[in-house]
Structure 1
Amino acid sequence: MKTVNTKYIIIGAGLSGLTTAHLLLKHGERDFLILEGRNRVGGRILTNNGVDIGATWLQDHHTNLNGLLDSLSLKKFEQYSKGQSVLVYNTMAPAHYFESQHNGPSAQRISGGSKALITKLTEGLKDKILLDTKALELTENSETVQIKTNAGIYIANKVVVTIPPKLASTLTFTPTLPDNLLGAMKQTHTWMSNAMKIGLVFKKPFWREKNFSGTVIGQVGPVIELYDHCCADNKTFALMGFINEGLRDVTAAQRKERILAYLEKYLGEEIRGYESYFEKDWSKDEFTSCENLKSVYMSPHYGNKHFEDFYFKEKLCFSGTETSPIYGGYLDGAVYSGITTARKLLQKELD
């Protein structure tokens, strides 16, 4: 089994890890590697056929993310919401149709999909990212941390763990991490871990032509949220939404038919004229979810103070949107965490 030595190792090539790596590179530091268990970069950012079936939205007050987008010359655009939206609050009563008021802050999306941010961040990092490399055990040595993976042994002066805290708690740490930290890790809900998303791509945005916004909100039924997901350049026309978790218990064919029948009822028969239909169940993603998954319907608590410290005698720290005290569970939280971690590492070197 091969052994590789480097100054820094970042575990996880999601938004926070890539942000830290991008900033290290920007400040002249090249002695680092990123270990990624998946066969792709991006973590919970995933764009399929122009549809974001992972992280999607941002707003003006997400200053860390907006600053990063500006620095990378990436554009954003407003979430489409013109026309009638549908609220289904009772299967026994008619749906409520309404039009959104445009006098408040609106959600925005990244031009080119959220993956455009990942693509930009990975520029210059291609030789630093090792895919299909799953961290298994972290062991503290006198001056370094050893990481055992499925692909070899990696040794670094400092290690940043960016995978979700609950998932990270399933790794083997020697010596064992403090009880208060482990408790925080196990109790921190993993953002997106219970989400099921769908994407439907069409030749044209039929709902817009019928004066629908594409928004369907339902407290009951197979689809709990649906939104217009056409691209900024109007070359891809799509709808994207969240599926009721109860549909995990039926077959893929049954689930698809229930979803289409439901949307046909409120948007019209054109819904069946899709060019492509796809789903993503994040609870089945081994690098997002874990066995002790619990659905959370109230706002979870993120940014536990124990994530702010270094461990393994200043050689190990944690990063990621769940560790962020600023907009935890959002893209902005991941960026804030990535920036903060890069500053910590660089400051340690200055000290």
Structure 2
Amino acid sequence: MTNTKVAILGAGLAGLNAARLLHRAGIDFILLEAGGRPGGRILSVDAAGAPAADGFDLGPSWFWPDRQRAIAGLVRELGLESFPQNAQGYVVFERMSREAPHRLSGLRDDQQSQRLAGGSAALVDALVKALPTDRLRYGAKVVAMTLTAGGVELSVRTGDVVKETLTAEQVIVALPPRLLAATIPLDPAPYDSVLHLWNSTPTWMAPHAKVFALYDRPFWREAGFSGTAQSLVGPMAEIHDATTCSGQAALFGFVGVGAGQRAAMGEEALKAACIQQFARIFGDDAANPRATLLKDWASDSLTATPADAAPTAHAAGQAREWIAGPWQARLAFAGSETSAIEAGFLSGAVEASVEAAKLVRQRLEGMLAG
């Protein structure tokens, strides 16, 4: 049996940042990640779909430093480079299939979105480098948690076998609340009101799919387009320029059809329909990308549950009582969905992880004082 002060569930942005803060405070932790890589919903890949240091963001990509202080501060602290999302040129609007797409003058953005050089995975890489490697465990899935007199007992599975029992005085849950409710039994069971809150909280990115088309050059810019489009025709509802800071040219779109319809279409048919839409909007040059990428987060079992297949509203972003009853003194939530001010954004993951690390540190100090 392994003992630690704090067990952290999930090595996405929130879990990694919570680990960084605890490590800086000299607090022992073990970070458990069910998948084989860090990052969670942050996934930056190359043209072949493999994780890359200068990649395309299949998950979240933007942040707004003027109004999102938590993520802006972390980017500065880690010394990362950012660049503005391209907004120069026409915006296109597709209203009806029998009408030609409408060109609109680009709108001024007083709070322009930024992207990270190298992709959002630059955040993940920098945070991992700040942590002791022997405290990071990948392919380690928590399958049960039991409250004990001295803390929490966690059953950890590697592959198909429960290989370890881990005990911790505190647990930071850096997972979406709905995913926790669906995948990790707690003993004693949380109150019904708590489970209802967890299950009713939308998971950021989970219902969505992103399609990328990669090109040799950003020809749409040469033709006066920003790369931004809105469509009521589909299959993509929203399109943007995804060209990297290093100049790798790409467009991407959020697929506007639901998860069930995406599954029924199949990956190749869906990508083909999206390429047709890119060409319809931006011209024949868009019809022959050098590569295409598709990430359907609704089919990712480490992100989504069956409840996430249906489109839902964005996470609420307000102060809530995420835990009540006997677990209240042992659990702390750090996922983006639990942020009181930036739920469902990169900044929300940072803000929530800061608050969780602070709470856990206060609890541990209180135990020592007691």
Identify whether the pair has TM-score above 0.5, normalized to the shorter chain.
yes
Structure 2 distance, partners of 1:177, 1:252, is: 39
SS class of match (2:329): coil
Listed as ranges, the matches of 1:218-297 within 5 Å are: 218-234=231-247, 236-245=248-257, 246-297=261-312
Q: Partners in 2 of 1:175 and 1:166 — Cα distance?
A: 18
Read off the aligned partner of 1:137 and give its amino acid letter. Answer: A
Aligned counterpart in structure 1 of residue 126 of structure 2, from 120, 131, 141: 120
1:48 equivalent in structure 2: 45
Q: String of CA shifts for 1:310-351, please: whole Å, max 9, x gaps.
A: 852612222211111111011111100000011111222333
Q: CA deviation at 1:248?
A: 3.0
Shift of 1:309: 6.2
Q: Secondary structure at the match of 1:8?
A: strand
For 2:177, the equivalent position in structure 1 comes to: 165
Give the alignment's TM-score, normalised by structure 1: 0.94
The more displaced of 187-196 and 268-277 is: 268-277
The Cα offsets for residues 163-193 of structure 1, whole Å up to 9 and x where unpaired, read as 1111111221001112221110011011111
Sort the Cα spacing of 1:216 and 1:313 in 2 relative to 1 into closer, same or farther, 3 A. Answer: closer
Residue by residue over 1:288-307, the C-alpha shift from the partner in whole angstroms, topping out at 9 and shown as x without a partner, is: 11122253354442445122
C-alpha displacement at 1:258, in angstroms?
A: 1.2
Does the 8 Å contact 2:119/2:244 carry over to 1? yes
- Out of 263-272 and 278-287, give the one that drifted further: 263-272
State, as a whole percentage, how many aligned pairs show the same letter: 30
Residue identity opposite 2:138 in structure 1: L
What is the distance in 1 between the residues matched to 2:311 and 2:319?
Answer: 17
Q: Is the 8 A contact 2:214 2:289 kept in 1?
A: yes
1:93 pairs with 2:99 = yes
Counterpart for residue 335 of structure 1: 350
How many pairs align?
A: 347
1:200 aligns with 2:221: no
SS of residue matched to 1:160? strand
Among candidates 29, 35, 41, match of residue 32 of structure 2: 35
Give the corresponding residue for 2:88. Answer: 82
Return the alpha-carbon distance in structure 1 between the equivalents of residues 203 and 312 of structure 2. 13
Q: Structure 2 length normalisation: TM-score?
A: 0.89
> CA offsets, 1:174-229, max 9 Å, x none?
01112221110011011111100012222211111111111121122111111111
SS of match in other structure, 1:40: coil
Deviation at 1:127, TM superposition (A): 2.1
Q: Is the 8 A contact 1:307 1:319 kept in 2?
A: no
Task: Report SS of the residue matched to 2:220.
Answer: helix
The residue number in structure 1 matching 2:14 is: 16
Question: Which ranges of structure 2 fall in alignment gaps of 5 or more residues?
Answer: 47-54, 159-163
SS in 2 for 1:305: coil
Distance 1:348 1:300, change over 3 A: closer
* Residue 231 of structure 1: how far off its partner (Å): 1.6
1-structure distance, mates of 2:318, 2:206:
17
When residues 310 and 175 of structure 1 are mapped into structure 2, their CA distance, relative to the original with a 3 A threshold, is closer
Q: Distance in 2 between matches of 1:312 and 1:282?
A: 30
Q: 1:190 & 1:37 partners in 2: Cα distance?
A: 17
Assess if the C-alpha contact under 8 Å between 2:194 and 2:323 holds in 1: no
Letter in 2 for 1:18: L
Partner deviation per Cα, 1:47-98 (whole Å, 9 max, x = no partner): 1122111011111200001011111111211110111121112112221111
**Per the alignment, in what secondary structure is the counterpart of residue 312 of structure 1?**
helix
The residue aligned with 1:71 is 77
- Aligned position for 1:26: 24
The 8 Å contact of residues 17 and 319 in structure 1, kept in 2 or not, is answered as yes
How far apart, in 2, do the equivalents of 1:241 and 1:304 lie?
Answer: 32
Residue 174 (structure 1) aligns with: 187
Distance 1:311 1:77, change over 3 A: farther
For each residue in 1:29-62, what CA deviation from the matched residue of structure 2 results, as whole angstroms up to 9, or x when unmatched?
2x11100011111111111122111011111200
Query: Does the CA contact (< 8 Å) of 2:237 and 2:255 recur in 1?
Result: yes
Q: Is the 8 A contact 2:10 2:33 kept in 1?
A: yes
Alpha-carbon distance between aligned partners in 2 of 1:106 and 1:124, rounded to the nearest angstrom: 29
CA contact under 8 A between 1:84 and 1:213: conserved in structure 2? yes
Whole-Å separation in 2 of the counterparts to 1:74 and 1:251: 38
Match of 2:141 in 1: 134
Q: Secondary structure at the match of 2:306?
A: coil
Query: Cα 1:209–1:313, aligned 2, differ >3 Å: closer, same or farther?
Result: closer
Q: Once superposed, what is the RMSD of the aligned Cα atoms?
A: 1.7
Q: Tell me, which stretches of 5 or more residues in structure 1 are unaligned? A: none
